[in-house]
Amino acid sequence: MSVSRICPNCYRREGIRVNFGNNHSAEKEFHQQHWCDCGYSSPEEMMKDQDLGFSDAKWVLIIKDFLNTYYNIISTTVIPNKDEHLRLFLKLLKNKINWYDSSAELIPKKRNFNEFEYVRNGKPKKQPKLNIFDDNGLEDVPNQVTITKTNYNLDEVQLLIEYAKAWNNLNVSYLENILSDNFEYNSQWVFDTMYGKETYIDYLKGKFKRIKETNAFPQAEIGYYKNAYGVKNKPCIVIKQNDTKVSIIMKINNGKITNIDMVGFPDPNTAITFDYFPK
Ligand SMILES: [Zn+2]
């Protein structure tokens, strides 16, 4: 197993890994060498110089670990809504604090208005001696994370637009993140309700495949009914294929589609459309 060194005063990780095999005394000596050029003689001195807002140096270890895992998760996983994001953030923070044999709790205290500092960026009041969060210490942190693309909570029209894209591109991948797990599909031409997100996606995949073979490409246009299902100005999609027109109406919950109804009544020809075919 190869090992790398972490400075006991600034917690920087050395950029090289060394393999000692079974030579434990050499490994022990390796860790005792003073390799870091930070110049700090204690973690307390480092914390003072860095102006991190905390005095306990353990926070640096905890937050470095937290940031690595956090950015790794949010740059590789789709977190579909802010509830889940909040839950992930809090649970991960607790997990990391506990991992370092510590706990954090909010203790009531008297208000001291001098403590309310302006917080928008992380600039220190005076320049620290060195950068303790260099590349080796935060290996999983990407240069930029775009949260809006992966963490959305869409409203009904935004969801309709995404759904229409699936039809206009004959590609079910647009649906992966917008259908709820307990999704239901109904068609006025079919008696049975179809249950489940995966079942529906498989069904549409087959349907799109057959459409591609026939070259009768559908066009999905955004619009609305003045009145449908007892709702005024109900958003819809009008799908036109050859000479037939059907409408798509949906129900949503928590930013996901829970129900899709494919309908011929109300008449799709009475829907008001915008000549907008999302691609
Ligand atoms: Zn150091």
| Domain span at 209 | 154-273
DSSP 214: H
Is there a single domain that holds both residue 8 and residue 139? yes
Residue at which a domain ends, from 90, 123, 149: 149
CA 57 / ligand 1 centre spacing (Å): 13
CA 255 / ligand 1 centre spacing (Å): 47
Domain count, the chain: 2
Q: How confident is the model at residue 141 (pLDDT cuts 50, 70, 90)?
A: low
pTM score, two decimals?
A: 0.50
- Residue 173 resides in a domain: yes
Phi/psi at 174 (nearest 5 deg)?
A: -65, -20
Please tell me the least confidently modeled range out of 26-40, 105-119, 176-190.
Answer: 26-40
CA 8 / ligand 1 centre spacing (Å): 7
CA 143 / ligand 1 centre spacing (Å): 24
Is there a single domain that holds both residue 239 and residue 104? no
Mean pLDDT within 158-171: 93
Q: How confident is the model at residue 151 (pLDDT cuts 50, 70, 90)?
A: very low
> Distance between the two ends of the chain, CA-based, in angstroms?
51
pLDDT in tens, 233-266: 899 999 999 989 999 999 998 889 999 999 999 9
pLDDT in tens, 189-238: 988 999 999 999 999 999 999 999 998 899 999 999 998 888 888 999 99
> Which range, 19-23, 132-136, 270-274, is most confident?
270-274
Question: What is the C-alpha to C-alpha distance for residues 176 and 172, in angstroms, rounded to an integer?
Answer: 7
- Residue 185 resides in a domain: yes
Is there a single domain that holds both residue 15 and residue 132? yes
Is there a single domain that holds both residue 91 and residue 195? no
CA 132 / ligand 1 centre spacing (Å): 8
Is there a single domain that holds both residue 8 and residue 142? yes
Residue at which a domain ends, from 134, 149, 164: 149
Question: What is the C-alpha to C-alpha distance for residues 265 and 206, in angstroms, rounded to an integer?
Answer: 25
As residues whose CB is below 5 A from the ion ligand 1, the structure lists 7, 9-10, 36, 38
- Neighbouring C-alpha atoms within 13 Å toward the C-beta of 279: 1
Q: How confident is the model at residue 80 (pLDDT cuts 50, 70, 90)?
A: confident
The three-state secondary structure class of 227 is strand
Q: What is the CATH number of the domain that holds 215?
A: 3.10.450.50
Is there a single domain that holds both residue 6 and residue 111? yes
- Residue 217 resides in a domain: yes
266 compared with 2, residue with greater pLDDT: 266
> Which range, 27-41, 89-103, 106-120, is most confident?
89-103
CA 37 / ligand 1 centre spacing (Å): 6
Q: How confident is the model at residue 149 (pLDDT cuts 50, 70, 90)?
A: very low
Is there a single domain that holds both residue 98 and residue 204? no
Is there a single domain that holds both residue 114 and residue 10? yes
CA 94 / ligand 1 centre spacing (Å): 27
Is there a single domain that holds both residue 60 and residue 174? no
Residue at which a domain ends, from 91, 120, 149: 149
CA 13 / ligand 1 centre spacing (Å): 8
Question: What is the C-alpha to C-alpha distance for residues 110 and 249, in angstroms, rounded to an integer?
Answer: 54
Is there a single domain that holds both residue 223 and residue 105? no
CA 42 / ligand 1 centre spacing (Å): 9
Question: What is the C-alpha to C-alpha distance for residues 8 and 200, in angstroms, rounded to an integer?
Answer: 55
Is there a single domain that holds both residue 232 and residue 185? yes
- Residue 279 resides in a domain: no
Is residue 145 within 8 A of residue 74, CB to CB? The reply is yes
- Neighbouring C-alpha atoms within 13 Å toward the C-beta of 41: 0
pLDDT in tens, 106-128: 999 998 888 887 778 888 888 99
Residue 148 pLDDT greater than 70, yes or no: no
Is there a single domain that holds both residue 37 and residue 166? no
CA 32 / ligand 1 centre spacing (Å): 13
- Residue 278 resides in a domain: no
Residue 95 pLDDT greater than 80, yes or no: yes
The string over 181-204, giving b where at least 16 C-beta atoms fall within 10 Å of a residue's C-beta and e elsewhere, is eebbbbeeeeeeeeeebeebbeeb
